[in-house]
Chain A
């Protein structure tokens, strides 16, 4: 199968990579850049923050990550209310690089689970304002349906709590989400290692977004490369169509011509 023909398209935007990566928690911008390059991604998430008005000599992430080369996906991380998330997303759009936003409305500091009610509220406003809203949501098929009904061109259900590295805790819900909505599914958050992203892709998800699993690894650059292959292997396996699981053995060598027969 030619993977270059296997493109992901969301709201008319073509994505060449099914691995999307965050830019947080790296040692420095040089390491961030190397990890992003090793991951083979073309989508990086960024936060929207006040510029440093005291020390203007500080470097900026976008000096390292060229917005002409990568699709910049601003997020509303750190927002705990629909109001803050809307405000942040609108500012991100106004900055003029993209209309895409990864919409997060966090419900609780301990779990960082989404506040689904506030998420719907913010989605409604931002879709009306013309933003392309990619919502970070619980692995809940009903929520996914409601978000798509509001105009989200993709949904981003969590695999497990952000930064937990637990992997996909409820593959059955992810499958039901895929059957419930006919838009791309990007598994977001909770991935720990390459097999987790492979599993997400084998389930038929369209992409995986992760940050901590790479940035927090002992060798982030090597882990970024591992993730690249995890996504490719999982996607190829999904497209190839795996064999059904069976309880008993099925011989793989022919029995004809065996000695003593």
Chain B
């Protein structure tokens, strides 16, 4: 199925959960936060939250920066 992940269309396995997606992406769960269709997914719900076709996901983490160079925000809603 196709979802929108961090603003890009991406094909992921059907019926995948948030945990499954993070594993699929090889992302460490500890340092990320996930938004599903503009709602934050609590960490203890990662394993039980299923992703559906056309869902819009944001996976964010802590990055360098804070000042001028972050002007071009990539978090546009």
Q: Is there an interface contact between B25 and A50, defined as CB atoms closer than 8 Å?
A: no
Whole-angstrom distance between the Cβ of B57 and the nearest chain A Cβ: 10
Closest to B38 in A: A87
Q: Is there an interface contact between A96 and B60, defined as CB atoms closer than 8 Å?
A: no
- 1/0 per residue, CB under 8 A from A, across B42-77: the answer is 110000000000000011111111111111111111
CA distance A72 to B70 in the complex (A): 17
Whole-angstrom distance between the Cβ of A87 and the nearest chain B Cβ: 7
Of B59, B60, B66, which one neighbours A22 at CB under 8 angstroms? B66
Of B6, B33, B59, B66, which one neighbours A45 at CB under 8 angstroms? B66
Of B58, B63, B76, which one neighbours A46 at CB under 8 angstroms? B63
Query: In terms of DSSP, what is the predominant structure of the interface of chain B?
Result: loop
Q: Which residues of B contact A162 (CB under 8 A)?
A: 67-68
Q: Is there an interface contact between A50 and B58, defined as CB atoms closer than 8 Å?
A: yes
Closest to A102 in B: B66
Contact of A32 with B77 at beta-carbon distance under 8 Å, contacts A24-B69, A53-B10 already known = no
CA distance A53 to B25 in the complex (A): 7
Tell whether B1 is near chain A: CB-to-CB under 8 Å: no
Closest to A95 in B: B33
Q: Which residues of B contact A91 (CB under 8 A)?
A: 33, 35, 40, 58, 60
Please report the total number of B residues contacting A with Cβ < 8 Å: 38
Contact of A22 with B68 at beta-carbon distance under 8 Å, contacts A78-B73, A84-B73 already known = no
Contact of A61 with B71 at beta-carbon distance under 8 Å, contacts A83-B77, A94-B33 already known = no
Closest to B61 in A: A51
Please list the residues of chain A having a beta carbon within 8 angstroms of any beta carbon in chain B. Answer: 22-26, 29, 32, 45-51, 53-54, 56, 60-62, 72, 74-75, 77-80, 83-84, 87-88, 90-97, 102, 109, 112, 162-163, 189, 211-212
Enumerate 26 A-B pairs (CB-CB under 8 Å) in ascending A order: A23-B66, A24-B66, A24-B68, A25-B69, A32-B64, A46-B62, A47-B64, A48-B33, A49-B75, A50-B6, A50-B60, A50-B75, A53-B8, A53-B10, A56-B26, A62-B31, A77-B66, A83-B77, A91-B58, A91-B60, A92-B62, A96-B31, A162-B67, A162-B68, A163-B67, A212-B67
